[in-house]
Amino acid sequence: MKIVVLDGFALNPGDLSWDAVKALGDVTIYDRTAPDEVLSRAQGAQALLTNKTLLPATLINQLPDLKYIGVMATGYNVVDTKAAAQNGIIVTNVPAYSTDSVAQMVFAHILNITNQVRFHADEVRAGKWCRCADFTFSDTPQIEIAGKTIGLVGLGHTGMAVAKIALAFGMNVLAVTSKKQDALPSGITPVSYDRLFGESDIISLHCPLTPDTHELINSGSIGKMKPTAILINTGRGPLICEKDLADALNSGRIYAAGLDVLSVEPPTPDNPLLSATNCYITPHIAWATHEARQRLMTVVAQNLHDFIQGDDLHNVVI
């Protein structure tokens, strides 16, 4: 079987092994593939593995040998699944491999904002503590999260993992979720959007990107939040209207934001959040711990193995 990996670098920049995939056929691995290179590289392949390289209908329809697409991620919007189905192509993804890593990043952002560890460590290194008249100093507010209310938009794998950590910190947990109260662990309260926006000290987004959630965070929803609110987004960039959030941060309408995703990645230099007040942005790395990427690699190879062997398939999206 001819197998082509279109964009393997993000998953494996060199610290993992492709051996489990290579054992399954004649494998060609590209670190990255530009849009105008996809067709030539994919020609003749029975299996394609993609992370963010787009596979639209116009391309899928030109690949008569293609039988399988393995998405090396959870989100599979990079594939035109309707065209794949029409051509009899199986599409798989890898759900929940990065749950713990993303939940960890949520609290990395929360603790960075509330304690400013790196900022104060840099000030100590610069000699400010040595010159201080007192045994202690702080140049930003120090905020205790115990007793604070965190509002979670979505209670899937990651949202639930964040909720459990929040409860361990002694936080109150509100959630917009389709789950009923009797199906939730003790300490999590299902609420409306209005209540979540109005009562939460910290709001963290864990919902899928749909027409209903596109730019869920906008001037209207921000207007319902506390001026001390902290917004965290490790989900999808377009959940936020970036101009509205930047305006709110710059005007002090809300306190801070911690973001691991933006609407366009990599961002354009004119993205207003890049220079917004109290906006802390990491470059879409919540998923990318070594442990999470190893799990991802393992399941990518297993999905493809099961397809080749004709075994019961897992993680099939169409």
Please pick, among 37, 118, 144, 265, the residue that the annotation labels catalytic: 265
> If you search the block for the tokens 């609407």, which residue do you land on?
263
By C-alpha distance, which of 222, 103, 98 is closest to 167?
Answer: 103
Query: Which runs of E-coded beta strand occur in the chain?
Result: 2-5, 26-29, 47-50, 68-71, 90-92, 149-153, 172-176, 188-190, 202-205, 230-233, 256-259, 279-281
Neighbours of 5 (CB within 10 A): 28
Q: Is 265 a catalytic residue?
A: yes
Q: Is 284 a catalytic residue?
A: yes
Please pick, among 109, 157, 206, 236, the residue that the annotation labels catalytic: 236
User: Are 7 and 53 in contact, with CB atoms under 8 Å apart?
Assistant: yes
Most distant CA pair in the chain: distance in Å? 75
How far apart, in Å, are the Cα atoms of 130 and each of 124, 127, 135, 141? 7, 5, 9, 20
Please pick, among 41, 120, 253, 284, the residue that the annotation labels catalytic: 284
Per DSSP, what are the bridge partners of residue 74?
Answer: none
Please give the distance of CA 115 from its chain centroid, rounded to a whole number.
Answer: 23
Q: Burial of 307 by CB count in 10 Å (0-12 exposed, 13-18 middle, 19+ buried)?
A: buried
**Residues involved in catalysis:** 236, 265, 284
